[in-house]
Amino acid sequence: MNLSPSKHAALAALLAAATLAGCSKKEAPPAAEPHAAAPAPAKTGEPLKAGFIYVGPVGDAGWTFAHDKGRREAEAKMGGKVVTTFVEKVPEGPDAERVLRDLVAQGNKLIFATSFGFMDAVTKVAKDNPDVKFEHATGYRTADNLRVYEAKFYEGAYLAGILAGQMTKSNVLGFVGSFPIPEVLRNINAFTLGAQSVNPKITTKVVWVSAWFDPPRETEAAQSLLDQGADVLLQNTDSSAVLQAAERAGKYAFGWDSDMSAVAPKAHLGSCALDWSGYYVKSFNDVLNGTWKPEVTKWGVKEGAVDLVKVASFAPAEARKKVDAARQGLKAGTLAVFTGPIVDNTGKEVLAKGVVADDAWKGAVNFYVKGVEGKVPAGK
Amino acid sequence: MIHLEARQSPSRLMGLLSPVLALALTVAIGAAIFFALGKDPGRALAVFLLEPFHGARALAELGLKATPLILCSLGLALCFRSNVWNIGAEGQFLFGAIAGGGLALWITTAGVPMSGPLFLPLLLVAGAAGGAAWAAVVALLRDRFHANEILVSLMLVYVANLFLSWLVFGPWKDPNGFNFPQTVQFASVTEVPRLFRGMRINAGFPLALVAAVAMWLFMSRTYRGMQLQVGGPAPLAARYAGFSSRAAIWTTLLVSGALAGVAGAVEVAGPMGQLTPHVSMGYGFTAIIVAFVGRLHPLGCILSSLLLSAFLIGGELAQTRVGLPSALAGVFQGVLLLSLLGCDVLVQHRLRWRSAP
């Protein structure tokens, strides 16, 4: 590259001019300063403005796609009483704070941070803006104007496991994991427990890819599981790469986050799909009615937030019937995925006989249940 | 067949105008894209190019975002000018973050008595040492075994990433954090001092500016700086003149590693306040582009860091204000870089049609 000083000077002058032009018309007071608590926005008759930040692109067919679908459907159901905006592909970290503050400055009174890694940012911004309500998906910190919500995704994984346990020929299942956090470990365990409920010989192999969305690595991980004899795969990552790998190999797999049946018609046994629209409608109404309060919401099959959808029509009727029975049990509250006795894969009892796991237990899962091979990475 | 042919005497005026032309081209192509997407091109361009500079808060955010880019790109500019192809600033950034974050974590958890004015220098030293140590691995392998520094420095990025993951998933994990991969929040005494109340821009920004001026003086006014830059493009001439290429490898890698490390430490003890697996947004890689857009000149690096930060922020603003997809920010960046490089090439060269031999 040529480095003539004159060009630096020109570039410098240009940018300096641009910067100065910006400076000269500023002097807006910093919006980050705490405001006095404003009256509830619902009384004015103007629509409620709600903002969403997403970690991925809205078209990823995965986690972000499911949230965005929920946003669109919920907004449509509110019939003009709510107007939403969103920002996609916001990196987890300090950038989120800037985006959240900007959404506040744009007049949004209800803001959803839809990924765990936004926790620190949303906590800080919520503290500075007591008149705005914040909701954080899959987090654990609450405040007067910050509450958390999540889906019992493991119920979907459990239903998938029931089908997998009946479809497998090798009795070996495969799981492509993102990060070994409790949420993902719960899904691996639930998938295995579901399969073992219909087929006690089941073992599960796990490969970690250290990413939520990385199709090439997901493909490699799926291939390595297939090579090790797994013939039904599930993943806690957001692309359809695992399904496609199973399709090519003539094996089975599931969709994750949303209906992925179109991607792999022969391999697709069902999709563990999320439906956030119900929760978003509730949340909009809570703010509009002035009944919003900080709480922890965990919705599952019962509330319609999680389900195994598009169960393959080629699966035997008997197998599908068992999935339906478990779904009914979860809906009626007669079935809980984590009910003792549960033994981890070192033989230690982690939940006593007859005990139904509480939120604290589920939040601290740091082990594989019996039948899952290997060790949790960096687990203590 | 089209051939590129060096111009006998490239126009000085066009050389001056090249970046202006590139920006004009970018604006024109951008406007066309916005128009094709059915958006008001004027409004969209204003959001993209002006809004990130509009208001004190916006400028503060811009400075915050640009700080790690300036620090990383300065070191890279020195490396590239000296013909040392360090593309692992990302890894050196992460090691600075680990060292600085480790220090802050230790002070937080061990309850070490500390004061802010004392902590900042310690943090900078820790960050610089961490980054330089990681770069020293590259220098050692290149110097002793003639390992290709492009590959080594790149590979070490992934090692650094996995090491950070291991720390926050393992020994440094917050015991009360529900098993999530992150450290505790650092004590407030370890926060890099902010410049203005209520804004996130911190002491890292003036520090980066000082570093840029120092680098400029080093490159243009010192014998050592001249040696490095001569040795880069003309190693034989340098050896003839008695300049050591080994010294050049060590100096440039250690300096750029230290700068990237400081960037990492300031980021972790600044806007983050804890270690997580997502410490860097790819600053070390973006800094490569920044360094070239800044024409490998320290002061140019400041401006190009601000420009690329503005594009990133403008991309966010365009989503909420004009409803444009986030991918457009990337397209915009790409168009600018391509125009800039294209204009440069065409100022120096001319296109010639020639039949294939």
Count CB atoms within 10 A of the CB of residue B214: 12
Are residues A99 and A161 located together in one domain of the fold? no
Report DSSP letters for B52-93, one per residue.
GGSSHHHHHHHHHHHHHHHHHHHHHHHHHHTT-----HHHHH
What pLDDT is recorded for position B16? 76
Domain match, A92 and A147 both: yes
- Whether residues A218 and A358 fall in one domain: yes
Strands A110-113 and B2-6: unpaired
Summarised one tens digit per residue, pLDDT across range B88-118 is 999 999 999 999 999 999 999 998 888 888 9
Q: Is A97 inside a domain boundary?
A: yes
Q: Is A141 on the interface with B (CB under 8 A)?
A: no
Q: How far is B178 from chain A (nearest CA, A)?
A: 6
Note whether A75 and A201 are same-domain residues.
Answer: no
Any CB–CB contact under 8 A between B58 and chain A? yes
Which CATH number does the domain housing residue A319 bear? 3.40.50.2300
Alpha helices in A39-118 (DSSP H): 63-77, 94-105
pLDDT number for residue B1 = 73
The mean predicted confidence, pLDDT, of chain A is 88
What are the strands, taking DSSP E only, across A79-190? 82-87, 110-113, 133-137, 146-151, 172-177
Token pair, residue B283, equals: 């600053």
**Does residue A168 lie within any of the structural domains?**
yes
Asked if A11 has any chain B CB less than 8 Å from its own CB, the reply is: yes
Per-residue pLDDT at B126: 98
Identify whether the C-beta of residue A139 lies closer than 8 Å to the C-beta of residue A149: no
A66: amino acid identity, one letter: A
Does residue A371 lie within any of the structural domains?
Answer: no
Range of the domain at A340: 153-273+305-363
Residues 6+ apart with CB under 8 A from A280: A70, A71, A73, A74, A112
Task: Determine the Cα–Cα distance for residues B273 and A157; give it in Å rounded to an integer.
Answer: 35
Of A151, A182, A214, the residue at which a domain comes to its end is A151
pLDDT at site B356: 59
Domain spans, chain B: 70-288
Subunit contact B326:A57, Cβ cutoff 8 A = yes
Q: What is residue A1's predicted lDDT score, i.e. its pLDDT?
A: 38
- Among the partner-chain residues A25, A90, A94, the one whose CB lies closest to the CB of B272 is A94
**DSSP single-letter state for residue B49:** I
Whether B279 has its CB under 8 Å from any CB of chain A: the answer is yes
pTM: 0.82
Asked if the C-beta of A7 comes within 8 angstroms of chain B's C-beta atoms, the answer is yes
CA B73, B74, B78, B79: dihedral to nearest 10 degrees?
-30
A117, A151, A185 - which closes a domain: A151
Compute the distance between CA of residue B58 and CA of residue B63 in angstroms, rounded to an integer.
Answer: 9
State whether B15 and A364 contact (CB < 8 Å).
no
The number of residues making up chain B comes to 357
Residue A16 to chain B, least CA–CA distance (Å): 8
**Which residues, 6+ apart, have CB-to-CB distance to B220 below 8 Å?**
none
Instruction: Find the closest chain B residue to A54 by CA distance.
Output: B326
What's the pLDDT at A258? Answer: 92
For residues A70 and A213, membership in a common domain is answered with no
- Nearest by CB to A10, from B19, B274, B321: name it: B19
Residues of chain B below pLDDT 50:
none
Contact indicator for B91, B264 with CB cutoff of 8 Å: no
Q: So what's the pLDDT on residue A378?
A: 63
- DSSP track, B156-191: HHHHHHHHHHHHHHTTTS-TTSTT-S--PPPPGGGS
Q: Which residues of A74-113 are buried (b: 16+ CB within 10 A; e: fewer)?
A: bbeebeeebebbbbbbbbbbbbbbbbbbbbbbeebbbbbb
Given CB atoms, is B42 within the 8 Å cutoff of chain A?
no
In this structure, what DSSP letter does residue A106 have?
A: T
* Contact across the interface for B178 and A14, Cβ inside 8 Å: no
Q: How far is CA A359 from CA A10, A302, A338, in A?
A: 61, 17, 11
Q: How far is Cα B201 from Cα B204, in angstroms, rounded to an integer?
A: 8
A81: in domain: yes
Q: Name every residue whose Cβ is closer than 8 Å to that of residue A142 and which is 6 or more positions away in sequence.
A: A148, A294, A295, A296
Nearest to A173 by CA among A356, A369, A307: A369
Residue of chain B whose alpha carbon sits nearest to that of A32: B198
H/E element holding A206?
strand A203-208
Closest residue to A22, CB basis, from B59, B277, B316: B59
Chain B positions in Cβ-Cβ contact with residue A365 (cut-off 8 Å): 179
Please report, for residues A53, A322, B115, B317, B340, the alpha-carbon distance to residue B337 in angstroms, rounded to integers and kept in the order given. 28, 58, 44, 21, 5
Question: Which residues of chain A, if any, have pLDDT below 70?
Answer: 1-44, 378-380
The per-residue pLDDT for A322 is 97
pLDDT given at position A61:
75
Residue A380 lies in a domain: no
Inter-chain touch A11–B199, beta carbons under 8 Å:
no
ipTM of the complex: 0.81
Q: How many domains does chain A have?
A: 2
Strand partners, A372: A204
The pLDDT assigned to A21 comes to 37
The reply to whether B68 touches chain A by the CB within 8 Å rule is no
Name residue A274's beta-bridge partners: A306
Q: What is the pLDDT at residue A26?
A: 34
**Which of A2, A3, A6, A7 to probe by mutation at the B interface, max B CB count within 10 Å?**
A7
Instruction: Say whether both A137 and A202 belong to one domain.
Output: no
The answer to whether B308 and B114 are in contact (CB under 8 A) is: no
Contact A106, A49 (CB under 8 A): yes
Per-residue tokens: B230: 């001569």
My answer on whether A144 and A200 are in the same domain is no
A103 with A113, same domain: the answer is yes
Cβ-count burial B162-197 (b if 16+ within 10 Å, e if not): eebbebbbeebbbeebbbbbbbbbbbeebbbebbee
Cis peptide before A341 (omega within 30 of 0): yes
**Pairing of β B349-353 and β A349-351:** unpaired
Chain B residues whose CB is inside 8 A of the A10 CB are 16-20
**Residue A217 and residue A347 in one domain:** yes
Same domain flag for A91 and A202: no
Same domain, A310 and A166: yes
Interchain CB distance below 8 Å, A86 and B327: no
